[in-house]
Amino acid sequence: MRALRILLIVVVVLGGLFVGADRLAVHFAEGEVADKLRTTENLATTPEVSIKGFPFLTQLVGGELEDVEIGIENYEANAGEGGTVRIDDLRANMKGVEFSGDYSSATANSATGTASIAYDELLRTAKSEPAQVAPGVTAEVVGLSDGGDGKIKVAVEATVFGTKLPRPVSVLSTVTAEGDTVRVKAEALPSIGGVQVGETQIRSITDFEQRIDGLPGGIRLDEVRAESDGVRITVLGSDVRLAG
């Protein structure tokens, strides 16, 4: 019995040492991947990196990580014509991440994730100088907010024959993702101060689009939906490059 107790103690001690070594190794690897990702994507801050699965050391020997989670608080994506759009709270789950021994390169077989674009950020795309939509009538988008049921409420401020209407006119719009572009389109056109406004003219104000390109590692837009604090987007990708 004494020999058995000693054997159990040895097993427990060795197991504890292995777990400790494994956690130290995964912590080091997470830091290395985070630093490489920051450099590769030219990020302002170091991203969060969490390597899942246990034990890590056996994954390390095999040269492939089962599951890696990436978190980037603010990411400046390309918006076309030299512009940028701020993507908030980008969270991506990477599967089957193959990496080199010095972590100089890492590529995920597949990736899924979520992020958001705040309404004030999206408004920069829609907002412009007041434009004429009918004789004596000018209008411009002045606000975006949650319209419920996955739609955006677009607030349009209008001036009719020199007099600004006392309150903005609102219209519910659908939001969709087509390729690398988020599109906002009014479902029904608003009436402005009782003046007949042509569809083409008013849609030049209410309808707009925002290109989102150059997301980390080559992930791309999949779906979009209006929510309380902004447009929620889902992203996906394959052969996603994390570093190198």
Give the pLDDT confidence score for residue 243 in this predicted structure.
66
Closest CA to 107 of 118, 119, 95: 95
CA 205, CA 157: separation in Å to the nearest integer? 10
Strands in the chain per DSSP E:
48-51, 64-80, 83-99, 106-118, 131-134, 137-148, 151-160, 163-164, 169-178, 181-186, 208-211, 220-227, 230-243
Average pLDDT for runs of 10 along the chain of length 244: 43 45 72 81 84 74 79 85 85 85 75 92 79 85 92 90 87 92 88 76 87 85 92 90 68
pLDDT at 7: 40
Q: Would you state the pLDDT for residue 80?
A: 74
Residue 53 DSSP class: S
pLDDT in tens, 192-208: 777 777 788 888 888 98
pLDDT value of residue 19: 55
Q: What is the pLDDT of residue 11?
A: 41
- Residue 228 tokens read as 């309380």
Residue-wise pLDDT tens digits, 157-186: 888 888 888 888 888 999 999 988 999 999
